[in-house]
Amino acid sequence: MTRRWNILAWSILAIVFLGMSLYLLFNPTRTGVVPNYRFAASHWWISQSMYPGGTHGFLYVPTFAVLFSPIYFLRPEILGEILWRAFGFGLFGLGLWRLAGNLSRQQGWMGTSDPTLLWVVLLAVPASLASLHNGQTNLPLSACLVLAAVALRDRKWNQAAFLLSLSLVLKPVALAPWLLACAVMPALRIPLLLGLPVLALVGFLHPNPSYAWGQWAEFLHKLTASYTPENLRVSDLFGALGKWGILVPPALEKGTRALASLGALAWVWQSFRRHGVAPAAWALWVTTALVFTIFNPRVETNGYVLISPLLAYAAISTWREGGGGSWKGWVLAAACIGLMCDGMGKPIYLATDVWFKPLIVLLVSPLLFRMPESWRAETQ
């Protein structure tokens, strides 16, 4: 029975990916945001600007264009589309497997000895479907966040530094956990700081160094200009308020985001100083997931895959601990399913667009502040 549970979990992941691959094969023009990545890679190698005007388009460091180039050159193009999603969804599956392994007391074939992996998959994957469909970096970024948190808890400093640095390539907003980890955990500072010049050097792999330098300058300009996006259905806390007709002054909005960031730093710092690495890793995971979602000025509804593995882990941990708090696990599990609302049909999508997901996360966030015993158990 043990192997059957695990095979079922991996089979669900395989079926989901196979279904998406078949969809792409029959609808080769429905490629989501991947054309932005192709645009950047193509322009990089012909020495043209990757950052046209406006607040949309390619919003990543030049290093991303270099690393995406093998997929861009792959022919036929649809093969590259599938391979790119295989990278993101595969990394996401690896992150879920690591979480399930931590929740299980014994190690069995394919990673766990009970249905834990199946439960993690059933709860975390629904929120990932939109990002998988669009080919967004949210999916591998979510995986990197999970794997980095696990690596930090296990004191695997180099691995954690690599994952946090890779996150910077996947999305600039990942600077938040990078800075938090660097500020709080001394053992991470040298690996993190050594990773920066490596990433920068990759972003200079071009026959014309002056062109590469110019693209870095354009990236910084694009990044600052796109902080307040135009014509984007932002699904953060303030986007939800706007959907309800409550307009928050820009100064108050920025002040709230700044206070949230300071609060994150204070919690991670206190956790590390008073309780050690494992509680600090948990605090870093929770605060980053919240910053990536309800406090992110560019988050869209499909970006909530960045928090679904955390909700799934917290739900299953609460069930495992038993006692009178099992209701919290059911609330968290319901939140996981609720994050799939944009895939439940057009009527539900239109009714819940923008406001529903940040409301869910805001309501269940107090249940995330207590570190589960399962997270502590690995360090004892």
Cβ atoms 142, 308 nearer than 8 A: yes
According to the model, what pLDDT value does residue 357 have? Answer: 95
Spatial separation of the C-alpha atoms in residues 112 and 206, rounded to whole Å? 45
Q: Which residue has the tokens 């972003």?
A: 203
According to the model, what pLDDT value does residue 111 have? Answer: 46
User: How many C-beta atoms surround the C-beta of residue 145 within 10 A?
Assistant: 26
Question: What is the tally of structural domains in the chain?
Answer: 1
**Among positive and negative, which fits the CA dihedral 249, 244, 307, 304?**
negative
According to the model, what pLDDT value does residue 49 have? Answer: 94
According to the model, what pLDDT value does residue 113 have? Answer: 54
Spatial separation of the C-alpha atoms in residues 99 and 225, rounded to whole Å? 37
Name the CA dihedral angle for 117, 119, 121, 122, rounded to a multiple of 10 degrees: 160
According to the model, what pLDDT value does residue 368 have? Answer: 97
Cβ atoms 61, 169 nearer than 8 A: yes
Closest residue by Cα to residue 268 from 291, 248, 241:
291
Closest residue by Cα to residue 166 from 190, 185, 143, 134:
143
**Among positive and negative, which fits the CA dihedral 183, 189, 191, 197?**
positive
Low-confidence ranges of the chain (pLDDT < 70): 1-2, 105-113, 230-232, 377-380
According to the model, what pLDDT value does residue 56 have? Answer: 79
According to the model, what pLDDT value does residue 312 have? Answer: 97
Spatial separation of the C-alpha atoms in residues 297 and 237, rounded to whole Å? 9
According to the model, what pLDDT value does residue 5 have? Answer: 84
Structural domain of 38: 2-377
Cβ atoms 301, 235 nearer than 8 A: yes
According to the model, what pLDDT value does residue 3 have? Answer: 75
Spatial separation of the C-alpha atoms in residues 320 and 101, rounded to whole Å? 14
According to the model, what pLDDT value does residue 380 have? Answer: 43
According to the model, what pLDDT value does residue 107 have? Answer: 45
What type of residue is 332?
Answer: L
> pLDDT, tens digit, for every residue of 99-131?
998 887 544 444 445 789 999 999 999 999 999
According to the model, what pLDDT value does residue 377 have? Answer: 47
According to the model, what pLDDT value does residue 106 have? Answer: 43
Q: pTM for the full model?
A: 0.94
> pLDDT, tens digit, for every residue of 259-316?
999 999 999 999 999 999 999 999 999 999 999 999 998 898 999 999 999 999 999 9
